[in-house]
Structure 1
Amino acid sequence: MLEFRQVHKAYATPQGPLEVLAGADLTLANGESLALMGESGSGKSTLLHLAAGLDLPDRGEVRVGGEVVSSLAEADRAKLRRETLGLVFQQFHLVPSLTVCDNLRLQARLAGRERPDWTAELIERLGLAGLEKRYPEQLSGGQQQRLAIGRALAPRPALLLADEPTGNLDEGSADDVLALLLTLVRDTGCALLVVTHSPRVAAPLDRRLNLTHGQLTPLATGQDACA
């Protein structure tokens, strides 16, 4: 579902080019979950932006569903994000003028795949039943994060990309949100890539990779990327 082939990415700095990815390789299969770990500034968010087509590599290929992302026009990359990808960010990015129900419907409508039965099921499974008419500011932080996850899953994407999805939550709420995320991903069959600095978040995922010095290396279960 997702593949990086010898991907390089650098940014200009006053001290010269800063290479954050130096020949990175990655594969993520349908239905598989992967945690991407590493210290702050290691390039984790850059890799996620490349996977989403929000940025393009300097060299190498990023493939989503077999398509080379950098070969697509911007309009086609936007279409890919609408129809194939789900995005969950540390900041919830909910539409404040829309209710819980309408926030869920919006992404599915944009993808042309709105299903009232799936929306109703998501509301129930997200623990938001009875809150359908509330606005984001009327929800707790944990409820807002669950809503953000539901919005990303509403179009039933093939690939879900999550950037520190529990970073703003207390430990108890984070565990609940992560368990819900993994359950919904398993039930929908989509692939999941989670960027996190937390071994606790990474532990239940199928695989863990550490990004350091621009390279991706496997992490064994229980190994701390920041140790």
Structure 2
Amino acid sequence: MLELVQVNKSYPTPQGPLSVLQGVDLHLAAGESLALMGESGCGKSTLLHLAAGLDTPDSGEIRLDGRSLSALEEPGRARLRRERLGLVFQQFHLVPSLSVADNLRLQARLAGREDPAWNRTLLERLGLTTMADRYPERLSGGQQQRLAIGRALAARPDLLMADEPTGNLDESSADEVLELLLALVKDSGCALLMVTHSPRVAAPLDRCLRLTHGRIEETAP
């Protein structure tokens, strides 16, 4: 489903180029869940942005379901994100002027794959059925994160990418959100790439990779 081959990425600084990723290889199979761990600032989010086509590598190859992202211009990468990927970030990025139900539908509508029955199932599983007409500002942090996860899954993506999806929640809420996320990913059949610094969050996933000094290795959580 996702393949990175010898990916390198650096950023300019006043002191010269700062190398963030050095020859990174990563393989994620369809339906597999993978945790990407590492200390803050080690390049985890950079790798996720590259894999989602939100940024481009200096060199190397990134393929989604066999299709090279480097062969696509930005409109093509945006279409691929809209139709094939679900993205969940620490910041919820909910639309404040849309209700819970309309926020949930948004990604599926953009992808042209809205499924009312699946939307109802998601609202129920997310515990948001009675809040469908509310606006995001009236939800707790945990409820907003659940809604962001539901929106990303509403279009039944092939791959869900999550960047520290429980990082802004207290431990109890984080555990509930993580359990729900993994259950919904399993039900939808999509692959999952999750960035986290927490061994506890990484433990339930199929595999774990650790990013250190720009390089990656398989490890136990």
- Counterpart of 2:48? 48
- Counterpart of 1:224? none
Distance (whole Å) between structure 1 residues aligned to residue 54 and residue 151 of structure 2 = 19
- Counterpart of 1:140? 140
Q: Percent identity?
A: 74
Distance (whole Å) between structure 1 residues aligned to residue 4 and residue 120 of structure 2 = 36
Please give the TM-score of this superposition, normalised by the length of structure 2: 0.99
Q: After the TM superposition, which residues 2-81 of structure 1 pair with which residues of structure 2 at under 5 Å, given as runs? A: 2-81=2-81
- Counterpart of 1:121? 121
Secondary structure in structure 1 of the residue aligned to 2:10:
strand
Secondary structure in structure 1 of the residue aligned to 2:60:
strand
Question: Which segments of 5 or more consecutive residues in structure 2 lack a partner in the other structure?
Answer: none
Distance (whole Å) between structure 1 residues aligned to residue 155 and residue 85 of structure 2 = 9
Secondary structure in structure 2 of the residue aligned to 1:145:
helix
Distance (whole Å) between structure 2 residues aligned to residue 130 and residue 188 of structure 1 = 23
Report the Cα offset of residue 15 of structure 1: 1.1
Secondary structure in structure 2 of the residue aligned to 1:98:
coil
- Counterpart of 1:218? 218
> Does 2:191 match 1:191?
yes
* Misfit runs of 4+, over 6 Å: none
Aligned length: 221
Distance (whole Å) between structure 1 residues aligned to residue 129 and residue 169 of structure 2 = 21
- Counterpart of 2:173? 173
Secondary structure in structure 1 of the residue aligned to 2:54:
coil
Please give the TM-score of this superposition, normalised by the length of structure 1: 0.96
AA aligned to 1:77 is: R
Distance (whole Å) between structure 1 residues aligned to residue 117 and residue 101 of structure 2 = 12
Question: Which segments of 5 or more consecutive residues in structure 1 lack a partner in the other structure?
Answer: 222-227
Distance (whole Å) between structure 1 residues aligned to residue 153 and residue 188 of structure 2 = 8
CA RMSD of aligned residues (A): 0.6
Report the Cα offset of residue 133 of structure 1: 0.1
AA aligned to 1:204 is: P
